[in-house]
Structure 1
Amino acid sequence: MAPSLASGPADRIIVALDGMDPEQALRFAAQVDGLRWVKVGLELFVQAGPEVVARLREQGLRVFLDLKFHDIPATKAGACRRAAALGAELITVHACAGSEALKTAQAAAVEGAQSAGVPTPTLLAVTVLTSWEEQRLQRELAIQQSIGERVAALAQLSATAGIGGCVCSPLEAAALRAQHPVPFALVTPGIRPKGVAVGDQARVMGPAEAIAAGASQLVIGRPITNAEDPCAAFAGCCAQLQGLIDAH
């Protein structure tokens, strides 16, 4: 399961291995001292397949498999069953597939993990991708809700269906935490330490601010993976979070 809010800083940071080929990803993960969690996304998984998850786990890492499953209930459930059996401990599914798909996905993930003898994963419902801006969301998808309203509605749908958490922008974390107390997981991409370029994320926040807002874990990619010294960048993020933990 996702770590509790009492976990140490390294347990709260998931490093995204985006833009790497399989060997680069494995080398990178092995070289960062204290790394606990990594994210395997679509690009890496399509190139490397399930083997990359197994090899990362052999290196002692916990894996967030971010494939954002979105399909009819039976297909979504089958995908979650197989992903759970790989040993991925966080798995993303799109909330907008609806309650039936979410319920069957959750049940299948538990079944897959139990059959493989691996930890039961936490499914994370994707609400609104952090690349969306409100005016464009309304214009292109004809969704009249604000992003905040849309995120809250999809998070509630997911929680009611038994999903263990959701992925959200850090800007929505405080409102969602008020609505969904721990142990409901809030995993936030769009994390940019001070002085780092925003890139293609539209709704961003610093690491300590996101944790203070109620995030359970942070997904950080390029600010660490593209740094001149990734070990130092990871340690710096951990230090920011340790300062917050010490203050509380």
Structure 2
Amino acid sequence: MNNSLIIALDFPNLEETKKFLQPFGSEKLFVKVGMELFYQNGPAMVSYLKEQGHDVFLDLKLHDIPNTVKMAMKGLASLGADLVNVHAAGGQKMMEAALEGLDAGTTGGQKRPLCIAVTQLTSTTEEQMNREQNILGSLEDAVLHYASLTNAAGLDGVVCSTHEVKRIHETIGSQFLTVTPGIRNATGATHDQARVATPALARELGSDFIVVGRAITKADDPLQSYLSMKNAWEGISC
């Protein structure tokens, strides 16, 4: 994969996406296509980004009965995305079905997309989880439970906040991927995220991938913001 900093392309259409990417020139990126962009533009968006040489995280967070997820993943496997995901709350059988679908839909000789599971959204607080989801105990324990379930299902890793990474790696192993959204500069706005971290802290805590959205896409100079965050993430002093 091109690098482990993933830019969230939270745009409504291809035109705005192209406008954002233009200053990056020939830089090969790892980008995230989420619900907003995919639902309004469809598979052609993934095809376009792959044609430009970018790696793609197709972030659709599938959560349904096992057979539905299996058949959906079978179709998504043909799009060429490098990373896809489901909700761990769907359960072990659903996650196993997701892998079955990806294996069935991956062209012979090609590597199936990596598949990870969302544990708890980084916009969720512990109080919110206790009160609204009726999940008692600490948020960290809940995330670790979902991560263990994901590992038992055979998936490649999880989406979590940076604050749970260390314990996940200690419990499950360093080979189990942790993809961490909610990345901001120290002085940046948190927007609707609750569990945030800087790129440097994410590196220190052991994140495998970081996902950065508005801190780059809404910056006055997105390219400079990207390079600054990439340097901080890689531990490069400027």
How far, CA to CA, are the matches of 2:110 and 2:12 in structure 1?
A: 26
Q: Which residue of structure 1 aligns with residue 112 of structure 2?
A: 120
Structure 1 unaligned segments of length 5 or more: list them: 4-9
Alignment of 1:163-174 (within 5 A): 163-174=155-166
Matching residue within 28, 36, 47 for 2:40: 47
Cα offset, 1:19, TM superposition: 3.2
Identity %: 39
Q: Which residue of structure 2 aligns with residue 7 of structure 1?
A: none
Alignment of 1:15-30 (within 5 A): 15-30=7-22
Residues 1:58 and 2:58 aligned together? no
TM-score using structure 2 length: 0.94
Residues 1:146 and 2:141 aligned together? no
- Give RMSD over aligned pairs: 1.6
Cα offset, 1:176, TM superposition: 1.0
Matching residue within 78, 89, 109 for 1:85: 78
Residues 1:183 and 2:175 aligned together? yes
Cα offset, 1:39, TM superposition: 0.2
How far, CA to CA, are the matches of 1:171 and 1:104 in structure 2?
A: 29
Structure 2 unaligned segments of length 5 or more: list them: none
Which amino acid in structure 1 is aligned with residue 7 of structure 2? V
Deviations 1:128-181 (A, max 9, x none): 111111112111121113211110001000101100010001111111121222
How far, CA to CA, are the matches of 1:145 and 1:72 in structure 2?
A: 27
Residues 1:198 and 2:174 aligned together? no
How far, CA to CA, are the matches of 1:111 and 1:145 in structure 2?
A: 38
Instruction: Choose 179-188 or 219-228, whichever is displaced more.
Output: 179-188
TM-score using structure 1 length: 0.90
Alignment of 1:169-248 (within 5 A): 169-243=161-235
How far, CA to CA, are the matches of 2:159 and 2:139 in structure 1?
A: 14
Which amino acid in structure 1 is aligned with residue 178 of structure 2? L
Cα offset, 1:22, TM superposition: 1.7
Conserved 8 A contact 2:12-2:40 = no
Cα offset, 1:35, TM superposition: 4.1
Which amino acid in structure 2 is aligned with residue 216 of structure 1? D
Matching residue within 93, 98, 105 for 2:91: 98
Cα offset, 1:40, TM superposition: 0.3
Which amino acid in structure 1 is aligned with residue 220 of structure 2? E
The count of aligned residue pairs is: 236
Q: Which residue of structure 2 aligns with residue 32 of structure 1?
A: 24
Which amino acid in structure 2 is aligned with residue 73 of structure 1? P
How far, CA to CA, are the matches of 2:168 and 2:22 in structure 1?
A: 34
Deviations 1:11-46 (A, max 9, x none): 010000013422211332343253420000001111
Instruction: Choose 129-138 or 23-32, whichever is displaced more.
Output: 23-32
Cα offset, 1:239, TM superposition: 1.2
